[in-house]
Structure 1
Amino acid sequence: MLARILTIGMGLALVPLAFDTAKAQTTGSVHGGGTRTSPFGAGGNAPGTQQPPPEQAPPAQQQTGAPAGGGGEIIITGEDPQLITDLLQEWGYKAKLTDDGEGNPKIESAIAGVNYQIYFYGCQSGQACSSIELSSGFNLENGIGLDVMNDWHSKKRYTRAYLDDNQDPWLSMDINLYGGGITSATFQDNIYLWESLVSDFKTQINW
């Protein structure tokens, strides 16, 4: 059991966390959280690691799954991880549906040249999940200081940035899917926001 170090503004808070080593990686909008850039930009992994495949431009107006209420819009909930996987692939991203080792779904993906995972929470027997977390860890040779995390939180919204017990930085973002879900357009906008913030975070930590 380690203490997850959350840095909010210029204050520090220690939050107990059971660190999941299975989540560790060796690879590394207009929402007030960063300037929207092209959602298909390139990035880089740590030296000697395999580069995630480049993202491709998304097919125009392509939809997957049943539209909600006959209105033509797809509703994303935590009940269909395969739909989320399929949509990510249609939008040009690498995506593979697996599990977290505890019976809950997990999606492995890559964005802005960085591998990340989508974890499902609030699940009932591995199904009908109520929220997801997008999470990426960055393995730095000498770790990084709390001042860098504090600076991030003083300027950005929507994400949590914290350090593990090796002083390596992590970035995560939650998406609530409870209470009827969200439209695919809103979900796609969240993915674009995540990409913009991951790209900014790489600059923040000099990745």
Structure 2
Amino acid sequence: MRLVLALLSALWVAPAAAQTLSASDPAGIAEAMRRAGFEVAQTQSNAGAPALVAVHSQIKFQVFFLGCEDGANCAHLLLTSEYATPEPVTPEQVNAWMTDNALGSVSYDAESGNSRVRYFLTTTGGVNERMFSETMYLWRLANISWLRAIAPAAE
């Protein structure tokens, strides 16, 4: 009976451990994003750290790996998308969106009028795949929300 319990407990723990994601494994992050429905390509940042370019629902964004040691053993992820509109985004649009949206942050370049949505995610200690998938879903919704907020400027 103890052997059966030991085997069952091993089976119970193994799937959870296998689904833990970390920024120290860019290929694992990319694969989890693919399982969540994103198109993903692996690349590098200008500093030589791992990076991903991803697309979902016509939303293109980059995932930067931060807190790395010589381009490896990264600890954090920064998701960022950039939007150009014919009319510059205003501080009022940014402030209104930031007041109503908790996920991510928006910034804009006053010179170009382009805006950027960002989300910081630490993976220190690991993140289970279900939570990561939910975060990616919320990230997509944040971008959709921002695109709706700037739609008048995009017309």
TM range (shorter): 0.7 to 0.9
- What are the equivalent positions in structure 2 for 1:135-154 lying under 5 Å apart? 135-154=80-99
- What are the equivalent positions in structure 2 for 1:31-180 lying under 5 Å apart? 70-73=13-16, 74-164=19-109, 165-178=111-124, 180=125
Q: Secondary structure at the match of 1:96?
A: strand
Shift of residue 90, structure 1, vs aligned partner: 2.2
* Identity over aligned pairs, percent: 18
> Structure 1, unaligned stretches of length 5 or more?
1-68
Q: Is contact 2:40–2:54 with CA below 8 Å preserved after alignment?
A: yes
List per-residue Cα deviations over 1:73-100 (Å, max 9, x = no partner). Answer: 2111111000111121222210011101
User: Within 2, Cα distance between the matches of 1:176 and 1:89?
Assistant: 20
Paired letter, 1:132? L
Paired letter, 1:79? S
Q: Is contact 1:112–1:199 with CA below 8 Å preserved after alignment?
A: no
Q: TM-score, normalised by structure 1?
A: 0.64
> Structure 2, unaligned stretches of length 5 or more?
1-11
User: Within 2, Cα distance between the matches of 1:79 and 1:176?
Assistant: 11
RMSD (Å), alpha carbons: 1.3
Shift of residue 113, structure 1, vs aligned partner: 1.3
- Structure showing the higher helix proportion among its residues: 2
User: Within 2, Cα distance between the matches of 1:120 and 1:132?
Assistant: 5
Higher relative contact order (CA 8 A, sep 6+): 1
Q: Is contact 1:112–1:198 with CA below 8 Å preserved after alignment?
A: no
Corresponding residue for residue 145 of structure 2: 200
Shift of residue 142, structure 1, vs aligned partner: 2.1
Paired letter, 1:105? P
